[in-house]
Chain A
Amino acid sequence: MSVRPIVLYPESVLRQKAEPVDPSSAETLSVLRDLWDTLDNHAGVGIAAPQIGAGARIIAIDATRARRPVPNHGRLALINPRIILAEGQISFREGCLSVPDFVAHIRRAERVTISAFLPGGHPITIETAGFESVILQHEIDHLDGMLFIDRVHNARDLKPRTQLILN
């Protein structure tokens, strides 16, 4: 098990576009193990490789950890994920492990279709909506060097957060 420290903004890796990776390489699988270990050590519901300092297009999400039950695909590790369809609109108050000072309501697509590879290389297409869709969009943003604070148009929408709950 290898829990890595969460990289905090303004570390440059959070601003770089992450590179596509080989879904079956030992290095990819190693980063993925660390992603899960790190996420499981925090109260978050998703994490992207840049958040542990790896510039690789890998994300790990777990919508089963939502405070209220939501439709979900369980623990999901996606490699080289791409949003191929985005529809509707939803607003949700997001926080980020890498930006511990603020939270903000962010508007995103309500439904998304994602194409990606599973660990090992099997291609997958996922259609989801609601909270899980928000998590996926937030994590894929990380792979493009984008943070939720970039999607805040009104500075007053950034709210100080009380605490970052760690396990």
Chain B
Amino acid sequence: MKKKMPQTPQTSHPLRRLLTVTGPDRPGIIAEISRIFAKQGADIEDVSMTRLEGNFAMILLARGGSATHLKEQLAEAGSRLGLFVHLEAAVQEYTDQEPNLFMSASGPNRVGIVSGISKTLARHGANITEMATRLLARTEVPVYLVRIEACVPAEKWEIMEKELAKIGRDLGVELRIEPIERADL
């Protein structure tokens, strides 16, 4: 007999939960985690997974399923696979922010680059919506690259641009910002 798969919940609005999984990377982590959610009838809505130099890192947003059963089975899987696993209630209501600023910074690696840039953005109420950094270690001197997308209040753009230019000079990094424009086609 064909096994019946749990259906995607559509009529009710069960709670969304946020799962964090980190630890040494190995094949099969996502297969095991997603199997548990499917078995509990929980709908995986959004996943962001990456590897940071051999470290597996994933945040996963899922809706539905029993919190008790999910926690039990995820804890068991975490222990078996040697991973940190944490399930918590997610933000239930939110408003998406579409970034309007792209920033790239690059320069000789030093402590404080991310801090200096992000502090300036935060002071002007800019919200970072995405960030990725890379350390280029095989160059003559180690070079740090930062890519940021942020949502910046329009009235803060000019003053923030000046302050970022100063921060860039102080940190010895080349800093470039540009507006993100989007067209509906």
> CB within 8 Å of A: which of B103-152?
129-130, 149
Residues of B in contact (CB 8 Å), total: 15
Q: Is B88 an interface residue (CB 8 A)?
A: no
Contact A95 to B184, CB < 8 A, known contacts A156-B48, A161-B98: yes
Q: Is B26 an interface residue (CB 8 A)?
A: no
> CB within 8 Å of A: which of B151-185?
180-185
In the bound complex, how far is the Cα of B184 from the Cα of A66, in angstroms?
10
Residues of A in contact (CB 8 Å), total: 28
Of A11-19, A30-38, A40-48, A113-121, the segment with at least 4 beta carbons within 8 Å of chain B is: A40-48
Q: Enumerate chain B residues within 8 angstroms of A111, measured Cβ to Cβ.
A: none
Q: State whether A159 touches B184 (Cβ < 8 A).
A: no
Of A20-28, A72-80, A82-90, A131-139, the segment with at least 4 beta carbons within 8 Å of chain B is: A131-139
Q: Enumerate chain A residues within 8 angstroms of B98, measured Cβ to Cβ.
A: 103, 159-162
Give min CB distance, B100 to chain A, whole Å: 10
Q: State whether B183 touches A135 (Cβ < 8 A).
A: yes
8 contacts between A and B (CB under 8 A): A92-B183, A93-B183, A103-B182, A135-B185, A148-B185, A159-B130, A160-B98, A164-B184
Residues of A within 8 A of B (CB): 42-46, 66-68, 92-97, 103, 131, 134-135, 138-139, 148, 156, 159-162, 164-165
